[in-house]
Amino acid sequence: MDITIRPVEPAEYAALGEITAEAYLGDGLLDYGADDPYLVQLRDVPRRAEEAEVLVAADARGRVLGGVTYAPPGNRWADIATPDEAEFRMLAVSREARGAGAGEALVRACIDRARTTAGVTGIVLSTQPAMRGAHRIYGRLGFVRTPERDWYPIEGLSLLTYRLEFPAVS
């Protein structure tokens, strides 16, 4: 499948919000289902696009397949990043497009952005234990588990963390 990674366009905000919400709901990742308060953030692509960088994976016809929020160092959307790290969040791909490479392409785009940012030594992320498909992508791309950074944003929700370290440039 021919996939293009690019910034989300305003006309795509609602579609990406629904893809993201459905990915989390459909995979049973929200404790309160359709009533989970996190759905508000997952659907709020306009706010994320204003405050961070939201990327989409689009097919050859321009149809949005999925997206991710990239937070450079110091960005308010970063949960666990230190001042010398970038972070990405809310990686989601529509059920129909899974397995076609969109998720990996989105992660690679985040890595590329981080690598080209002065002073950035790595990129980090948080993930739920059940997100096994995403874990496989992270492993393939060289991310390493960082259990010392695992955290609990709310009681009962354990988030695993991963980091990809960039080689020092001499």
pLDDT tens string 3-29: 999 999 999 999 999 999 999 998 888
Q: Which residue has the tokens 């588990």?
A: 145
pLDDT at position 156 over 90: no
- Residue 54's closest CA among 14, 26, 27, 83? 14
Binned at pLDDT 50, 70 and 90, residue 169 comes out as low
For residue 57, the cross-strand partners are 5, 66
- Terminal-residue alpha carbon distance, the chain: 38
In this prediction, residue 167 carries a pLDDT of 85
- Residue 18's closest CA among 64, 57, 50, 49? 64
Binned at pLDDT 50, 70 and 90, residue 49 comes out as very high
Judge whether 122 and 165 are in contact, CB under 8 Å: yes
Question: pTM for the full model?
Answer: 0.94
pLDDT at position 52 over 70: yes
